[in-house]
Structure 1
Amino acid sequence: MQIEFKYPFILLLFLPVAFLLYRYWKQMKLMTNRKESQVILFLRTCIFSLLIIALAIPQIVLPQKETQVVFLMDRSASVQDSGDQQLEWLEKSVQNKNEKDEYSVLSFGEKATIEQMMGKEGLRFPKWNEETGKDHTNIEGAINLASSVFPNNSGGRIILFTDGNETMGNLTEAAKLLKNRSIELDTVLLQSHSYEDTAVSEIEVPSTLYEGEQASVSVTIESNIAKSGLLHFYENNNKIVSKSIEIKEGTNVIPIQFPVEQAGLVTYKAELELTNDAYAENNKLQVVNMVKTIPQILLVQNDSNKALVQIMEGAGYKVEVRSSIQLPTVLSGYLNYQSIIFNNIAATDITENQMSLIEKSVKDFGVGFLMTGGEDSFGLGGYFQTPIEKLLPVDMDIKGKKEMPSMALMIVLDRSGSMDGQKFSLAKEAAARSVELLQETDTLGFIAFDDKPWVIVEPKPLKNKEEVVNKIRSVPVGGGTEIYGSLVEAYDQISDLDVKRKHIILLTDGQSATNNDYEELINEGSKKNVTMSTVALGADADRNLLEELAKLGAGRFYDVQDSTVIPSILSRETVMATRTYIEDNPFYPNIKSGYGWDTLFSQGIPQMKAYIATTPKAESTVPIESTKEDPILAEWQYGLGKTIAFTSDVNGAWNGDWARWNQWSSFFTKVVANTLPQYDSEAYSLSVEKEQDRTYLSVSADKLSMLPIETTIISERGEVVEGNTKMIAPGKYEVDVDNDPGLYFIHVKQTDEDGNVTVYQSGFTIPYSDEYLITGANEEKVNELLAITDGSQLEKESQAFRPLKNPVKQKQEITEVLLFISFLLLLIEIAIRRLGLPVKFLAVFEKKEGVKRQKTFKQKISSAPRETPVSIGKEAQLDSNRETNKKQAKPPKKTKKLNTKEENENHLDQLLEMKRKKKR
């Protein structure tokens, strides 16, 4: 055991303290009670010494007896089959540990996690944590977490199970930090199994492709074994080539030829179909290319009317017609079009995700968008508060411009246990949207039912919308399903209300008894102008019953498989219940000048029959409007894309004489042309460089410029990806993004000093992780790691808990103990000086000592031989005594030493002796 001081320089305070104590000791000679002063001097010396030592932070250094070990287990894909081997090694190691030894278990892949905290108990985690991510190996992050498990300033050992292959981080930097903390690092080398694996490593596509040309590309395949298989090649997820190939061991380059049929941003993908292959993740690879062509338009309509197709093809556009159920579900499915047209499409036919992808393609990639009117469009289509409404230049709601007929809406919602989850939350949110669409004079009721109906909101005018919304959102999930009783309650609540329109919406995902007389109930309600629509949620709903109820109730039936369309259904039903959104009085639209449209109407303005009422947004322009100042044609810039709303139809039912107008084709062609993107795909070039844990995009401009650029990166799923953009040279930029494999699209925008905007869009692929490349164990990297940490490669389990090479000694501070002792001594010192108790004790002690010394002195005198006194006269003797008394009575000089108590007693004895002689 030894003592160390954390701040040894503080011990220099002993010098001034020693000087002060010395001065106090010198002054003690002038004090009358020297014993008390000596005790105080001793106590103060102890107090000062203890305080100075305490300030220097003394630490008792003791050797650390137990060994602390952290087992760091690799769970990445490259050693995916070694889990049992690592667990067996761990169990045998724990059996060989001493009683005081402690250990912890961590697992890692892309992330590290603690499986078992530091302790002495046996293994107690039931299974490996699967959230570490197997796509990457981050040894640096794992070592950093493992080192934090050890208490501060304590040593230990980390045993790393690894094959030495890292795909993220820098393990050598982490190893250097371990050495600074005196933490040993040993390894257990994991050998990769002999997998058969084949991987697509590269796709080479010409930098410039043109629609209709015969393109030649090459696919590079790496394999560690010779085998046969199939190679599939896709263009925008459409398989265009499928061929059998013979793969040899090593590098294989497979040529592919195909006609380019898609335009715009086109995704090409190569995919291998093999048997007995180790990793499926590396069997496919994608690239993105810009294919130049004439504008390509996506026309979305659910009827077979060819009129619009003929008009656009006559203008030189390439048109692809799809129904609403055929819309793409990934972002790349929209980016190869220059414009998208929704021709009388209801929001209830499109999922929320599809609408979000369209909104991103318009905002971030400049794709145009046009919505035309009809009974399934705008507000009547259920677009209130959807991503499509966000991108349009008009709002679906009519903001107080019309006197709405009074109406009552009753929403009957299933709250049985099977509704729990997203669809119940979306259904309540949809009901809340319906509240926002209604006027304060409208009536809303809300019934939630399970095995019986629960009236949550009684049907009454919406004087306090916020209170009603809060009640709806607070409804919990309940028990069973009983539909008939809830409909009886709904009809009883709404039938006798004094309003012009009464409508019930029933939403359920279950089945109920069908022996009740639904027909009589609905017929009685119909006599009082009550209508009803039904919504079947999920595969378990009784579709036959619900469809029949909607038919009897003169409403609509919705079969919902994707719960995200529920809000659109309820907003559509709410709007359709009013029927006031359709303006069906023939009129002549007003054409405003200055927007470039008036030249088409030089020969007159045709009459229009009907349109859907909407409200223009503040930033939009309305070049054509109705006599009621409602938008007929509204347009605006939404992000990078141009969007237009034409609120009448284009099939002739609503637009009246416009369909027979001799300028109709020119008018519609101009509408479509105004939505086309205005960007230059050649303004920049893009290259991708992948490092261990990051991907860097190099963006080079065709002109040297010091102006910054704005970049937007979106994944194929429509998620915005964060990227850090910086300029590295004039006209050269670097974008730092994460390293998640997948297909991404980038949009670049630059604004010059004059306000001119240059736009560029492209795509790139981050390939699969190097984790899926079979390279074997990296013993060179492991040896480099052991050289830094002076560790060992373990062969036996018994080596895990061997004594540390340089055991860290435990340090225990004793500052608190010293301070406590000095406090006690201070109390004693104060008691001596102030309370007086110890002084009395000392006085008694001093009296006893004085009597003892006096007796001893007298004994010495009596035993000594006496001399014969010389005879002198009385006068001479008296004079002599007086002189002696005067001399003895003289006060001592300051420089002379004060008489001690023993000398005073001797002096007293002499006086007594002289007095006896005088009497003789």
Structure 2
Amino acid sequence: MGVQFSSPWFLLLLIPAGAFLYYAYKSDFRLGGFRKKLALFLRACVIILLIFVLSGLHGFTILRDKQVVYLADRSDSMGDTARLSEWIGKSMDAKGEKDGTAIVSTGLEGAVERKLSLSGEAGASLNAALEGKFTGLESGLQLAGNLFEGTADSRIVLLSDGEENVGSMAATGRLLKDRGIAVDVLPVPQREIRDAAVEELRVPDKLYQAESFYVEVMIKSTFKTAGELRIYEDNREIGREVVEVSPGENRFAVKGLAKSPGLHRYRAEIFMDGDESSANNAGFDFTRVDGPPKVLIVEGTPGTSGNITAALESGMIGTEVISPHMLPLEAAKYALYDSIIFNNVSGSNVGGKQMDMIEQAVRSFGIGFMMAGGDDSFGMGGYFKTPIEKALPVSMELEGKREIPSLGLILVIDRSGSMAGNKIELAKESAMRTVELMRSKDTVGVVAFDDSPWWVVPPQKLGDKEEVLDAISSIPSAGGTNIYPAVSSALDEMLSIKTQRRHIILMTDGQSAVQSGYDELTQTMVDNKITLSSVAVGMDSDTNLLQSLADAAKGRYYYVEDETTLPAVFSREAVLMAKSYIVDKPFVPAMQNAGDWASLFDQGVPGLYGYVATTPKASAQTVLTSPEPDPVLARWQYGSGRTVAWTSDLSGKWSKEWVSWPAFANTLTEIVKWTFPQFASSPYEVTTTAAGNQVKLQVESDSDNPPEKLIAKVAGDEAGEQTVELIQEAPGRYTGQVNVSKPGAFLMSLEDASGGNSVQAAPGTGFVVPYSPEYRIASGSGEDGLKKLAEMTGGRVLSWDKPEEVFDREATSRKVLHDWSYSLLVAALLLWVADIAVRRLALPWAAIGARLAAPLRRRPAPAAETGRDAGLDRLAARKDRAASFYGSGGGSAKPPAADGPVPEQPRNRGAGTGEAGGGGTAPAPGAAPAAGRKAPPEARAPQRPKVPQRERPPASAKPAGGTGGRSAGPPPPPPPPKSSGGKAMEAEEQSGSAMDRLLKAKNRNSR
């Protein structure tokens, strides 16, 4: 333990401080004695402590113990990590008693296996959960460096193959070097495996329709083998070849043909004999094919889209017709089309996932969308509160426009155990969506059933929707399935409801425990004009029973494989019961706000025979209206795309005059073209770089006025997207990062958000995230990187055969500083408070000082002090002897015995008058005391025993030898006369009073 000063020059302040204290001692007359000394001592301590704080007084300790943190690379390329754990355990056996060890594992990120511990039994297990698809040695080194306590020789032992693919261990090594932390490395040999990998796939960035091109594939292998190479375009195989590969790089080219315009994703896969790793057998790439636009037509009824396809193809627009069940489940598929048309498609046939993707394609990637009417479209198709309704310019809800018959509706919902999870949640959402469609004059009831019915919402007028919705949302799932009691209870309640239309919706996914007695129920329904529709969810449902119930009760039967369509089914049923959504009468549409479409109707507008009633949204542009008025043709901008609503049909049922109109083909073509993406070329150059599970986006604009705020929207193969606000690093240059969880294809669009509203800034583009570089065939340069790291930080390259050499070195001594500033300041503050108390408080400081000094008085006094006290004691003895000689109380003193020699006393060197230290003697009887005379022997010698007194001589007789020297004459004469005796008494009293004063002064000084 030692001390040191970080700023020793401040110690020079002790010189002026000493001068100040001396001046304060001399000039402060308010205090005295012990109190003054104590106050000065306290103030001196305060000043000295403050000077020590300014000079940076620190304590320090010299330590020689070691701290080692083992960093184990546990990425997938390392294979079995048991050998790492075994080596670490053997190494720890050689550590000293005061040496600390810790263990950290790393994959994509680091994780602490065990914190620093001195115990030799701490263990070397490696069990932390890690993402092994990447090797992030930088993250592991940073975490290991943070575990050191800074009190010992610190060292990291890195066990890795050095093949990092995230971060930079060299950058972290420089930081560790600055902190004095060395990194020892143990290179782990690469596993010898037979591996062939698709290292690279390239297709041209841009193609034209019908253009031939080559798909270039680079395959890297560690052994010679043969196998098959397959090329896919949008999951459709377009080429297959048998190839032979040799160790190293092998390049192949497969010829392709750009058949259809749009964004296309390409994938290359290999299937090689003897390949031991399949994680690196696929590669991806994107390209855009320019050519004639293409429209996807989804028809609800097969064979009803001939009018649409004929009109578009006459305008050189390609078409593709599919059923709703064929809608793609990948976002990239929708990017192949410029627009999508729903031709009288029921929402119950479109899955929730497909609805989300279509809405996302319109909003984020500028794909157009148009809905054509019919019996199964708009509100009649159950699109209320769906993503499709969100994208359309019209709403499915009729807001107080016409008198709609009152409706009594009871929902019978299966809540058995088989409905647990997503099914019961979608069933509750369906019921809630149906309730929201109903009006306050309607009556609604909800009964849930398992083995027995449970009335969640007893039949009631729909006054407070929120209360009903809250009750529905609380339905749990449990129990078995028994349909009959629930339907019977619903029918009993429905018989008491007085509304214009009465309807029951039954939904279940199971088999009923009771299979008989339903005929009587359905007959009662028919007799009382009550209808029932049934919904069978999944293959396990009692489809025969449910279909027979719907047919007997004159309702509709639905079989649902995708439970996400349940909300659309319930909404459709609620709308169908109202019937007022369909306006079935002839009329001629009127132009309201045609805009640039006004020229399409210069020659007049053909008549229509019906349409589906809707409500235009606030910002929508209504082009044609009905007499009610309801929108017949409406359009608006939705996000990056455009959508159109045509509420009549295009099959000829309500629009036979339109489809026979000579201008029909041109009019429909122009309407559909208006929905196409608005950008033919992009003013932005987009570059993507994958690093670990992150993709860095870099966007550069060549525009003179680049946007202030740019947003990127990225969507994967599945529904859902990430919105990334790009950071403008320089004028026209933007960067951002996107987190990805797995390799695959991604679509991206750019939006300008400078003005508060997002506007599409560029056409959609794509990028791919290949398989993790962890699975690439290693180049073998990892060991060199480890050696450079060890050399940079002052570490060593360890051996697998000598694990004990981790601790086989002399520990570097290290000085550990202890900051005393806080303690010194606290002590100075306390002493300053004590100094104020001594100076300001009126306490018996002398008594306090005496008590404090009492222990010191009990010690043997120093020589000088002992001599001073002995002199005072002798002086007091002389006083007693003088008083004894002259008598006490004014009487005569007893003379010395006559018959004995009087011992000679030393000559008195003073000339006092009886005061202490003066050495004078008492005056002889009858005469004044004279200076220079010797005191009687009795005044100096110890008191003797009393002897009988002789008869006193005459008063006139005097001793012959004066007062000094040895007396050889007769004994002292008798006392003088009364007057002379009075003077002797006064002299004796004066001598006694002086002695008393001396004793009192001594006592005061001792205080």
TM-score interval for Structure 1 and Structure 2 normalised by the shorter chain: 0.7 to 0.9
Task: State the partner residue of 2:969.
Answer: none
What amino acid maps onto 1:805 in structure 2? A
Q: Unaligned 5+ residue runs, structure 2?
A: 879-904, 912-919, 933-989, 1000-1007
Find the counterpart in structure 1 of residue 554 from structure 2. 554
1:227 aligns with 2:222: no
Distance in 2 separating the partners of 1:769 and 1:845: 83
- Indicate the residue corresponding to 2:790 in structure 1: 786
- 1:865 counterpart = 2:913: no
Change (3 A) 1:163 1:854: closer
SS in 2 for 1:760: strand
Shift of 1:549: 3.7
| Distance in 1 separating the partners of 2:736 and 2:9 | 50
Change (3 A) 1:873 1:228: closer
Q: Which has the higher contact order (CA 8 A, sep 6+)?
A: 1
Equivalenced residue count is 885
Specify the alignment match of 1:901 in structure 2: none
Selected match of 2:260 from 254, 259, 262: 262
Question: Is 1:200–2:188 an aligned residue pair?
Answer: no
Among candidates 991, 994, 997, match of residue 908 of structure 1: 994
Alignment pair present for 1:422 and 2:405: no
Offset at 1:342?
0.8
- Read off the aligned partner of 1:708 and give its amino acid letter: P
Corresponding residue number in structure 2 for 1:144: 142
The C-alpha deviation readout for 1:477-504, integer Å capped at 9, x for no partner, is 4444443333333333333111122233
Contact 2:626 2:632 in 1 (8 A): yes
Q: Equivalent of 1:241, from 228, 239, 242?
A: 239
Mind listing any 5+ residue stretches in structure 1 that lack a counterpart?
882-903, 914-920
Letter in 1 for 2:669: T
SS class of match (1:149): coil
Q: Which moved more, 1:212-221 or 1:581-590?
A: 212-221
Q: Map 1:341-352; keep pairs closer than 5 Å.
A: 341-352=341-352
Please state how far the C-alpha of 1:909 moved relative to its aligned partner.
4.5
Q: Which moved more, 1:201-210 or 1:245-254?
A: 201-210
Seen in structure 2, the aligned counterparts of structure 1 residues 156 and 909 have a Cα distance that, compared at 3 Å, is same
Change (3 A) 1:907 1:366: same
The 1:359–1:32 alpha-carbon spacing in structure 2 relative to 1, beyond 3 Å, is: closer
Indicate conservation of the 8 Å contact 1:169/1:693, yes or no.
Answer: no
Residues 1:322 and 2:322 are matched in the alignment: yes
The 1:756–1:504 alpha-carbon spacing in structure 2 relative to 1, beyond 3 Å, is: closer
Q: How does 1:327-338 map to 2 (within 5 A)?
A: 327-338=327-338
1:360 aligned partner? 360
Is the 2:227–2:272 contact (alpha carbons within 8 Å) kept by the matching residues of 1? yes
1:677 alignment partner in structure 2: 677
Instruction: Give the superposition deviation at 1:299.
Output: 0.9
Q: Does 2:783 align with 1:764?
A: no
Conserved 8 A contact 2:229-2:270: yes
The answer (yes or no) to whether the contact 2:593–2:621 under 8 Å persists in 1 is no
Deviations 1:459-479 (A, max 9, x none): 212222222222222334444
Deviations 1:544-600 (A, max 9, x none): 444444444433344444443333233223222322221223322223464355555
1:307 paired residue number: 307
CA contact (8 A) 1:338 1:677 kept: yes
Q: Which amino acid aligns with 1:865?
A: R
Name the aligned partner's letter for residue 222 of structure 1.
Answer: K
How far does residue 798 in structure 1 lie from its aligned partner after superposition? 3.4
Question: What is the CA–CA distance in structure 1 between the aligned matches of 2:563 and 2:994, rounded to whole Å?
Answer: 119
Alignment of 1:267-666 (within 5 A): 267-302=265-300, 303-305=302-304, 306-538=306-538, 540-592=540-592, 594-597=594-597, 599-601=599-601, 604-666=604-666
CA, structure 1 residues 271+51, in 2 after alignment: closer, same or farther (shift >3 Å)? same
Q: In the TM superposition, what is the alpha-carbon distance from 1:182 to its structure 2 partner? A: 3.4
Give the counterpart letter for 1:148 in structure 2: N
With 569-578 and 32-41 compared, the bigger mean Cα shift is at 32-41
The corresponding residue for 2:721 is 720
1:200, 1:285 within 8 Å by CA — same for their partners in 2?
Answer: yes
In structure 2, relative to structure 1, the CA distance for the partners of 1:336 and 1:804 (3 Å cut) is farther
Please tell me the residue identity of whatever aligns with 2:804: S
SS state at 1:89 partner: helix
How far apart are 1:764 and its partner, in Å?
2.6
| Higher mean C-alpha deviation, range 30-39 or range 589-598 | 30-39
SS in 2 for 1:333: helix
1:675/1:31 Cα in 2 relative to 1: closer, same or farther (>3 Å)?
closer
- Cα distance in 2 between the residues matched to 1:327 and 1:342: 11
Listed as ranges, the matches of 1:681-830 within 5 Å are 681=681, 688=688, 705-708=704-707, 710=710, 712-717=712-717, 718-723=719-724, 725=726, 733=733, 735-738=735-738, 740=740, 741-748=743-750, 759-775=762-778, 776=780, 778-795=782-799, 796-800=802-806, 805-806=811-812, 808=814, 811=817, 830=837
| Contact 2:198–2:269, Cα closer than 8 Å, also in 1 | yes
- 1:665–1:42: structure 2 CA closer, same or farther, 3 Å change rule? closer
Q: 1:615 to 1:824 in 2, by over 3 A?
A: closer
Instruction: Identify the match of residue 841 of structure 1 among 841, 851, 856.
Output: 851
**Aligned-partner residue type, residue 745 of structure 1:** L
Alpha-carbon distance between aligned partners in 2 of 1:272 and 1:326, rounded to the nearest angstrom: 29
| Paired position in structure 1 for 2:60 | 61
How far 1:454 sits from its partner (Å)? 2.8
- 1:711–1:746 contact (8 Å) kept in structure 2: no
- Deviation for aligned residue 1:39: 4.6
Give the counterpart letter for 1:218 in structure 2: E
Whether contact under 8 Å (1:440, 1:462) holds in the other structure is yes
AA at the equivalent of 1:720: E
Whether 1:169 aligns to 2:167 is: yes
Alignment partner, residue 885 of structure 1: none
Instruction: Supply the distance in 1 between the matched residues of 2:586 and 2:556 (Cα, whole angstroms).
Output: 28
CA apart distance, 1:230: 1.1
Cα separation, 1, equivalents of 2:354 and 2:682: 29
In 2, the alpha carbon distance for the partners of 1:490 and 1:157 equals 77
Q: Is the Cα contact below 8 Å between 2:366 and 2:640 reproduced in 1?
A: yes
Letter in 1 for 2:33: R
CA contact (8 A) 1:721 1:737 kept: no
In 2, the alpha carbon distance for the partners of 1:32 and 1:671 equals 107
Query: What is the aligned counterpart of 2:871 among 856, 863, 873?
Result: 856
Once the two structures are TM-superposed, the CA of residue 298 in structure 1 deviates from its matched residue by: 0.8
Alignment TM-score, normalising by the size of structure 1: 0.85
Question: Is the CA contact 1:35–1:842 (under 8 Å) kept in the aligned structure 2?
Answer: no
Q: State percent identity of aligned pairs.
A: 34
Decide whether aligned partners of structure 1 residues 96 and 738 sit closer, same or farther in structure 2, where only a CA change above 3 A counts.
farther
Partner of 2:71: 72
Cα deviation 1:692-728 (Å, max 9, x = unaligned): 7865566666x66343384534233254345565678
Q: Distance in 2 between matches of 1:851 and 1:907?
A: 25
1:813 positional shift: 5.2
Decide whether aligned partners of structure 1 residues 441 and 196 sit closer, same or farther in structure 2, where only a CA change above 3 A counts.
Answer: same
Deviations 1:632-666 (A, max 9, x none): 11111222322111111111223353344444333
**Alignment RMSD, CA only?**
4.3
Distance (Å, rounded) in 2 between the aligned partners of 1:671 and 1:868: 141
Whether the 8 Å CA contact 2:531–2:554 is kept in 1: the answer is yes
Does structure 2 conserve the Cα–Cα contact (< 8 Å) formed by 1:533 and 1:555? yes
Name which of structure 1's ranges 756-765 and 609-618 shifts more when overlaid on structure 2: 756-765
Amino acid paired to 2:748: I
2: CA distance between counterparts of 1:237 and 1:681?
27
Alpha carbons 1:751, 1:758 under 8 Å: kept: no
Question: 1:495·1:502 contact (CA, 8 Å) conserved in 2?
Answer: no
Aligned partner of 1:213 among 196, 211, 214: 211
Give, in whole Å, the separation in 2 of the partners of 1:83 and 1:548: 63
Is the 1:707–1:750 Cα contact (8 Å) retained in structure 2? Answer: no
C-alpha deviation, 1:606, in angstroms: 3.4
Instruction: Assess if the C-alpha contact under 8 Å between 1:91 and 1:123 holds in 2.
Output: no
TM-score normalised by the chain length of structure 2: 0.78
SS at match of 2:678: coil
CA–CA distance in structure 1, aligned partners of residues 206 and 460 of structure 2: 65
C-alpha distance in structure 2 between counterparts of 1:653 and 1:906, whole Å? 150
Letter in 1 for 2:460: K
The separation in 1 between residues aligned to 2:869 and 2:122, in whole angstroms, is 82
